[in-house]
Amino acid sequence: MSIRWITIVFLLLAGICRGQGYLDLFSAGATVSPGNKVEESQGEIDVEEAKVATRLPLKLSNGKYLILSPYYSYLRLSSGPTRFNNDDAFHQYGLPIGYQQEFADSWKVLLMGIPRLSSDLGDISQEDFLYGGLLLFTHQKREGLAYKYGLYYGQEFFGPMIVPIFGLDWKMGERWRFFGNLPINGTLQYRAHQRFSTGLRFLANVTSFRLHEGFESIYLHKVTNDLYLFADCYLSSKVVLRGQLGRSFFRSMRFYPKNEQLDAAVSLLRFGDRGDPLTNDFSDGNLFGISLIYRYALED
């Protein structure tokens, strides 16, 4: 890759993401949570998850960008908590497409559509697809401090979901930084060395998966709130190996009949009477993860 091309790419990335000091163009990782106790049972369940994600910003004109963020995620429940299968695997293919525009000097707005295929891939049909959207405003208050305000809406198999978002990117000093979009994610990072950083990460995920018609198109409602201690080791200036140890809190993964839905969910609040789940839940547990990241630094 020529020096001229590298410079062009850097300018595009700097315009699309001035927060957190870097942009992860590609990441691939896996997390396991073994030996989780099933409620009202002597059984245990192992949870395995994997995800591959990319982020591709394309400049349209000054201050305007098209953002493509395709991803694939995998969830496997082994020695399952269900009476349907002892080895349940679920897949999600997403293609978020966004438009970002800068305005009023210190502001920018991001509008993103998020179509997904989310199922066990037993019989792919239109019923497997979910759609959502994100509106996010960013205000650069001053150098080293930015605020974000937004709203996420998504159609899930359990009903509509709405999440108000407050984001923050705060460079607290030469080594400390906090960034994230609450209540979805947040990272407190300590940069110990040019090639090593560590800190705490919080990740919340609420999603759903449809099972095929052989299981009467029931769905899995997944809720996770995970807190990690992480370490980023730079194998080169752009390739990062991340290890993380964590714990899940208030985790829930239960199956429901196709037509048992909520009226709406707003963050953690649920509205409507859905009825009882088809399966028991299982306990919170320990988390062990590793990932490989291709990262472009936006700051020295």
Do you find a cis peptide bond into 183, omega within 30 degrees of 0?
Answer: yes
Q: What percent of the chain has pLDDT over 90?
A: 76
CATH of residue 164's domain is 2.40.160
Report which DSSP code applies to 93: E
Predicted confidence at residue 1, as pLDDT, reads 41
> Could you give the number of structural domains in the chain?
1
Helix (H) or strand (E) holding 19: none
Give the predicted TM-score (pTM) of the model: 0.88
Predicted confidence at residue 71, as pLDDT, reads 98
- Identify the burial level of 163 via C-beta atoms within 10 angstroms of its C-beta, where 0-12 means exposed, 13-18 middle and 19 or more buried: buried
Predicted confidence at residue 5, as pLDDT, reads 37
At 52, the pLDDT band (50, 70, 90 cuts) reads: very high
In angstroms, the CA 20 to CA 297 distance is: 9
Q: How many CB atoms within 10 Å of residue 282?
A: 23
In angstroms, the CA 48 to CA 25 distance is: 24
In angstroms, the CA 183 to CA 73 distance is: 21
Predicted confidence at residue 70, as pLDDT, reads 98
What contacts 95, CB < 8 A, 6 or more positions away? 68, 69, 70, 114, 115, 116
In angstroms, the CA 153 to CA 113 distance is: 10
Phi, psi of 3 (to 5 degrees): -60, -40
What is the largest distance, in Å, between two alpha-carbon atoms of the chain? 63
Residue 15 pLDDT greater than 80, yes or no:
no
286 vs 39, higher pLDDT: 286
- Nearest-CA neighbor of 36 among 281, 288, 279? 281
Residue 44 pLDDT greater than 70, yes or no:
yes
Q: Which of these ranges, 38-42, 274-278, 288-292, has the smallest mean pLDDT?
A: 38-42
Q: What percent of the chain has pLDDT over 70?
A: 90
At 275, the pLDDT band (50, 70, 90 cuts) reads: confident
What contacts 285, CB < 8 A, 6 or more positions away? 33, 34, 35, 36, 47, 247, 248, 251
| C-beta of residue 191 within 8 angstroms of C-beta of residue 178 | no
What would the pLDDT profile of 78-120 be if each residue is shown by its tens digit? Answer: 875 444 454 679 999 999 999 999 998 899 999 999 999 999 9
| Averaged pLDDT, 65-83 | 84
Q: Which tokens hold the place of 132?
A: 């959502």
Which residue range is the domain that position 46 belongs to? Answer: 3-297
Residue 6 pLDDT greater than 80, yes or no:
no
Residue 124 pLDDT greater than 80, yes or no:
yes
Predicted confidence at residue 72, as pLDDT, reads 98
What would the pLDDT profile of 171-213 be if each residue is shown by its tens digit? Answer: 999 999 999 999 999 999 999 999 999 999 999 999 999 999 8
At 11, the pLDDT band (50, 70, 90 cuts) reads: very low
SS3 label, residue 213: helix
In angstroms, the CA 29 to CA 13 distance is: 23
At 20, the pLDDT band (50, 70, 90 cuts) reads: low
| C-beta of residue 114 within 8 angstroms of C-beta of residue 133 | yes
CA distances in angstroms from 81 to 39, 60, 213, 257, 284, listed in the order given: 9, 49, 20, 16, 14
216 vs 73, higher pLDDT: 73
Report which DSSP code applies to 9: H
